[in-house]
Amino acid sequence: MRAIQKSNCSQDNGNEVTCGFGDGYFMLIFGAMQVLLSQIPNFHNIQWLSILAAIMSFAYAFIGMGLSVGQVTENGHAEGSIEGIPTSSGIEKLWLVAQALGDIAFSYPFSVILIEIQDTLKSPPPENVTMKRASTISVIVTTFFYLCCGCFGYAAFGNDTPGNLLTGFALYKKHWLVDFANACIVIHLVGAYQVYSQPLFANVENWLRFKFPDSEFVNRTYSLKLPLLPAFRLNFLRLTFRTAYVASTTGIAMIFPYFNQILGVLAGIIYYPLSIYFPVEMYLSLGNIEAWTAKWVMLRTFSIVGFLVGLFTLVGSIEGIVSAKLS
């Protein structure tokens, strides 16, 4: 949202120097939207939102990739170097590598909600067969877009490549196209927030209903009818817990508005347990793999390496947040 405003300001003023805008106002708007959308009862009711978010992600990925290719063509050469951004010390470079690995590790976060997605599928064919095919296709497609946007983006801007690739085209003559792509990002993230939050809402609320079966606050639902709107079922637990959750995430985002570093921290926390440890342990258990066999040693080694990579990205990304906060 800020990038859209900055792009329009740059077009009016002819430069980006006088176009500085803060994040807080837009974060509050985003948080307010999520408070409303969070009242959607459950994961099964957001299919339309998930489809819309997927369409938006395709749209801005295509636009970012196309603009980057066009910029490289216009430059006549690829910017940057194989060494990447120059640093004053090896330690600084090490932390940047850790943050980059964190961003890469967060590129495939669907493992967090894979089970919930599989639970929404119908059979036949078996849910796991459909999910395996869908996962394979999605990983191939997203990897293609990530590599194209990452490589062409760096080739277009070199060491000055921004965290949000589209902000590099703020002075692009067809700025409406850049604004549209940024709007697609907004819509995508509005939907993605719900896709990832709804399973958490359901788990917490179901646990509370189990613990307090006689509580009206927890279990009673009221029918609410507003003018010009369909009837809405209001539950006070849903209203208070989900609103508090959105408010807390919005507050944290306003305190630490460092997109890439935050992604690295999140990746450091969820990458190993959900993408490495859990699948490996499931495979070892279901396959009855005996200890100290070649396959067992290979999988255990893979798990240990994944843990070290996750720890490395977590430490490096925390260092990045601290450095950004202090500066």
Q: Would the pLDDT of 305 be above 90?
A: yes
Q: How many domains does the chain have?
A: 1
Place 19 in a pLDDT band, splitting at 50, 70 and 90.
low
Task: Note whether residue 53 is domain-resident.
Answer: yes
pLDDT in tens, 144-194: 988 998 899 999 998 888 878 888 887 777 788 888 998 999 888 888 888
Place 302 in a pLDDT band, splitting at 50, 70 and 90.
very high
Task: Note whether residue 291 is domain-resident.
Answer: no
What are the φ/ψ torsions at residue 222 (nearest 5 degrees)? Answer: -110, 140
Task: Note whether residue 312 is domain-resident.
Answer: no
Place 14 in a pLDDT band, splitting at 50, 70 and 90.
low
Q: What confidence score (pLDDT) does residue 45 get?
A: 66
pLDDT, average across residues 285-308 = 92
Q: What confidence score (pLDDT) does residue 173 get?
A: 75
Q: Give the domain range for residue 252.
A: 1-257
Per the model's pLDDT, the better-predicted residue between 99 and 20 turns out to be 99
Task: Note whether residue 210 is domain-resident.
Answer: yes
Q: pTM to 2 decimals?
A: 0.79
Q: Would the pLDDT of 44 be above 70?
A: no
Q: Would the pLDDT of 16 be above 60?
A: no
Place 248 in a pLDDT band, splitting at 50, 70 and 90.
very high
Task: Note whether residue 78 is domain-resident.
Answer: yes
pLDDT, average across residues 92-101 = 88
Task: Note whether residue 130 is domain-resident.
Answer: yes
Average pLDDT, the chain: 85
Q: What confidence score (pLDDT) does residue 271 get?
A: 84
Q: What confidence score (pLDDT) does residue 244 get?
A: 95
